Amino acid sequence: MPPHHTRLRVRYAETDQMGVVYYANYLVWMEVARVELCKTLGFNYRDMEQEDGVLLAVVEAHCRYRYPARFDDEVIVETSVADAHSRAVEFHYEMSLADGSRRLATGSTRHIFCNRQMEPVRLPAKYRAMFGIER
């Protein structure tokens, strides 16, 4: 499946005393892009939580910072499903300036599918094809 592109504009509140985007905001951008990717895959993440009781719990997050983003920069977060099976999914992210001049960061997050009690569950069959899971 092709990657999804989410456009964001750096808000002043996302920058630190040095005038660059505070490092933790890249993880927030990953989350925003992940939710948008789910919509392009054919479902609303909120509905999966509310209707099916399935949550995506982060078990690992990685971000490699390459170049600083600054206030009012337009950023594109390219998001894709790197790996998925019925119990877990891994997403890959590449964040770049919208004009294509700089790669800002790359990252990944690994998630397990779980219920509201935070117990691991299998992804319901109706979502599997959307994540590229064949069985």
Rounded to whole angstroms, how far apart are CA atoms 41 and 53? 19
pLDDT at 134: 82
Which pLDDT value is given to residue 2? 86
Annotated catalytic residues are 16
Each of the 135 residues of the chain gets a pLDDT tens digit; together they read 789 999 999 999 999 999 999 999 999 999 999 999 999 999 999 999 999 999 999 999 999 999 999 999 999 999 999 999 999 999 999 999 999 999 999 999 999 999 999 999 999 999 999 999 986
φ, ψ dihedrals at 119, nearest 5°? -95, 135
Long-range contacts of 15-18 (CB under 8 A, 24+ apart): 15/70, 15/71
| pTM for this predicted structure | 0.94
Domains contained in the chain, CATH given: 4-131 (3.10.129.10)
Rounded CA separation 80/121 (Å):
22
Q: How confident is the model at residue 135, as a pLDDT?
A: 67
List Cβ neighbours of 34 (8 Å cut-off, separation of 6 or more). 45, 56, 79, 91, 109
**Any idea which residue has 């069985």 for tokens?**
135
